[in-house]
Structure 1
Amino acid sequence: MARAGALMSAEIAEQPAVWRRQLEESTRQVDAVARRIAEYDPRMILFVGRGTSDHAGLYGKYLTEIVLQLPAGMVSPSTMTAYGARPALDRVLMIGVSQSGGSPDLVHSLEVARQQGALTLAITNQADSPLAQAAELELDVLAGPEQAVAATKSYTAQLLALYLIFDRLRGGSPDSAAALPDLADRLIAGDDGVRTLAQRYRFASRLVTTARGYSYPTAREAALKLMETSYLGAQAFSGADLLHGPLAMIDPQVPVLAIVADGAGGQAMQQVISRLAEVGADVMCVGNADAVAAADAGVALPAGVSQELSPLLEIIPFQQLALHLAVARGGDPDAPRGLKKVTETL
């Protein structure tokens, strides 16, 4: 009988190899996608996804607004599926993000968008999926089969795919992410430290994740991983939103998991960290060495990573934490109760 979490553990460890494969094998496809987008010259970019893939889309939204200086938004699929909306989408790029590419509501959203004049792009881990067939453009993230219910390698592969497209659109170098896989190998090697850290939260019933900027999608994804594997209440807040009311629920019994990476988002978190200290919060930090040293516990990220690429590394300690916390609580993160790998929403 396989040990609990064996699949999730293996897929977390595969991420550097997945990224190397993307960097080596997807250049032509990324170039072709970026060239078509540039020809189309969108005035706005919309993202549509569910769960983990929605968080990847949120990362894409930050890239759109910061790197390309274009407005961006997150699509609510039900407006087109349940309500039958048909918005005018000329000169809009809609990007559907999905590990399986099989969710009917995402497929329908891209079909409607294409009918309404949008350029459509599917980013999936299944090149022959219905989502890929519905879109004009498709990019395979090359993550390989993902068997654990909790998505890990497909999530970071989606982030890297989005980064590579947007970096090409601004004229960036294909080598801009070349160092990333080696840095991830170093981070993954600290798994024993995260296993020990998981004991700190073994009996927690709820917790909060928080970050700002490019790291906010990490906070959202970390909360989801902890909820679906460890069955505890995890709420994700932008650091700014946390200070606008939810801070009142924070006390020493509600752990706060914060991402404080290098860059503008990490700098914006300094006020949040100060306020958390004032209310006596137990803070675990994933981020730069100074922020981790000032927290109650944490994991330091490799130095010198751009704020655009940092989210690919930030999520790894949280994936490991979700894995080890679930096992410590007697569960199996490979098969969370009541969940399936592909959720077919309408």
Structure 2
Amino acid sequence: MAREIAEQPEALARTLEALLPLRGELRSLAEDRRVVLFVARGSSDNAAIYGRYLLEVHAGIPGGLAAPSVATHYHAELDLSEAIVVSVSQSGETTEIVETQAWAAGRGARTVAVTNDGDSSLAAAADLALVTRAGAELAVPATKSYVTQLAAMAVMADAFAPKPGSLDADLDRVPAEVSRLISLRTGVDEAAERLASTPETLVSGRGLTFGTALEAALKLEETCLRPVRGLSYADLRHGPIAVVDAEHVALLVSAADGPMVAGMTDLAHDLRRRGAAATIGIGGDSGFAAAVDVCVPGPDLPELVAPLALVVPAQLTVEALARRLGLNPDAPRGLSKITQTDPANDA
């Protein structure tokens, strides 16, 4: 896992170089289409959440997360003739995702596959495949395959935007920022120490960084075997915040700019007042850093592209925590690289 985290700058650079030239094909595919639906599970689902927010905020196109079971179990007859369906799968071989893409195509959708394997079933059947260049990923927890999926989301949203190319300058900076964060590691070991102090962990973010928060929560669960609640700032405020006490460590994720920083900073202050065992902040601005007990700096990138690098401090923290707990971060208990949702569908 540590080695693959370190490979992310090169993986991102390769992926952006390969996918940015496909923006014209993406725009052609989007002609006369009004909505984008994402199909994914696990880490890929968290990448899709970022894609959905970015499409709506940057490109002005409605997006949503489709439920694969609507296709695979309910076999619903939907009219998708105005939709682009984006199926996201690292392996491109998760049966449920492959079947859902075929179901969508049969109901009029144009299909885009985001996968790390250009020879996969998902890529072969799609109208257009965005093949990430993460290279072979051996550790079960997705790291470089996840960040390259985020890069694919950014390329797609930029292709659909009124002015394609407006993200280019910031995307060019992403690999170097990821490399800097990997080398820096500021706050990572202290964050792992605080997380190890109690098994009760709450993770929160909002907007464009919400998918990053959910990915951090997922990594803590699968890699460190901790029960974790990953909630948006808004959902946390609607009741669950009442459970926070001295047994809880809160991990808060924020970009350095944008409309969500103030709310995440207020949340950090509130969690302190409620007696949380510790508040750990990833990213944010100087006010956010001052509001948390431990700050793990994030990237110097604008909010629209920050998630491509913001997840890296979380990955480093999770890897450090797993080793602190005596666990093998590369092969979490009971998990495999390709997950089939329904055991009956296992190949």
Partner of 1:4: none
- What CA distance in whole angstroms lies between the structure 2 residues aligned with 1:191 and 1:272? 24
Counterpart in the other structure of 2:46 = 55
Instruction: State the one-letter code of the partner of 1:183.
Output: E
SS in 2 for 1:90: coil
What TM-score comes out, normalization by structure 2 length?
0.93
SS in 2 for 1:144: coil
In the alignment, is residue 271 of structure 1 matched against residue 266 of structure 2?
A: yes
2:58 counterpart residue number: 67
> What is the Cα deviation at residue 192 of structure 1?
6.7
> Could you tell me how far apart the structure 2 residues matched to 1:299 and 1:138 are?
35
Structure 2 spans left out of the alignment, 5+ residues:
343-347
CA spacing shift, 1:73–1:25, aligned 2, 3 Å: closer
What is the aligned counterpart of 2:35 among 41, 44, 47? 44
Confirm whether residue 327 of structure 1 aligns to residue 323 of structure 2.
yes
Which aligned segments of 4 or more residues in structure 1 are displaced greater than 3 angstroms?
none
Show the counterpart of 1:25. 18
- The answer (yes or no) to whether the contact 1:209–1:223 under 8 Å persists in 2 is yes
| Structure 1 position 124 matched with structure 2 position 88 | no
Name the SS for the 1:286 alignment partner: strand
* Distance across 2 between alignment mates of 1:198 and 1:133: 41
- Find the partner of 2:294 among 286, 297, 303: 297
Q: Name the amino acid aligned to 2:324.
A: A
In the alignment, structure 1 residue 169 sits paired with structure 2 residue 152: no
Query: Does the aligned pair in 1 maintain the 2:170–2:302 contact within 8 Å?
Result: no
Q: What SS does the corresponding residue of 1:338 show, helix, strand or coil? A: coil
Match of 2:28, as an amino acid?
A: R
Take 1:42 and 1:306, find their aligned partners in 2: how far apart are those partners? 29
Deviations 1:148-176 (A, max 9, x none): 00000011100011101211222232444
Moved more, 289-298 or 47-56: 289-298
Q: Alpha-carbon deviation of 1:193?
A: 4.1
Question: 1:289, 1:301 within 8 Å by CA — same for their partners in 2?
Answer: no
Of residues 128, 131, 134, the one that matches 1:137 is: 128
Task: Tell me the equivalent position of 1:313.
Answer: 309
Contact residue 269 and residue 291 of structure 2 kept, 8 A: no
Contact persistence 1:207–1:233 (CA under 8 A):
yes
Partner AA of 2:290 in structure 1: A
Tell me the equivalent position of 1:16: 9
Distance change >3 Å, CA 176–CA 198, structure 1 → 2 = closer
CA deviation after TM superposition for structure 1 residue 313, in Å: 1.5
Instruction: Give the letter for the 2:221 counterpart.
Output: M
Distance in 2, Cα, partners of 1:165 & 1:260: 23
For the residues of structure 2 that align with 1:135 and 1:268, how far apart are their CA atoms?
Answer: 40
Q: How far off is 1:82 after superposition?
A: 1.2
Task: Write the letter of the residue equivalent to 1:300.
Answer: P
Q: Deviations over 1:73-92 (max 9, x none)?
A: 11111111111112110110
For the 8 Å contact 2:221–2:227, the answer to whether it is kept is: yes
- 1:182 pairs with 2:176: yes
TM-score by length of 1: 0.93
User: 1:42, CA displacement in angstroms?
Assistant: 1.5
1:31-86 Cα offsets, whole Å, 9 max, x none, are: 24323233x33111100101000001111110122122222211111111111112
Alignment partners' CA distance in 1, 2:331 and 2:294: 29
The runs of 5 or more residues in structure 1 that have no matched partner are 1-7
* Identical counterparts, % of pairs: 39
Opposite residue 236 of structure 2, the aligned amino acid is: L
- Partner in structure 1 of residue 345 of structure 2: none
**Residue equivalent to 1:146:** 137
Contact 1:96–1:122 (CA<8 Å) still a contact in 2?
A: yes
CA RMSD of aligned residues (A): 1.5
**Distance (whole Å) between structure 2 residues aligned to residue 48 and residue 117 of structure 1:** 16
Find the residue that maps to 2:117 and give its secondary structure. coil
- Give aligned pairs, total: 336
Which residue in 1 is equivalent to 2:244? 250
Do residues 77 (structure 1) and 71 (structure 2) align? no
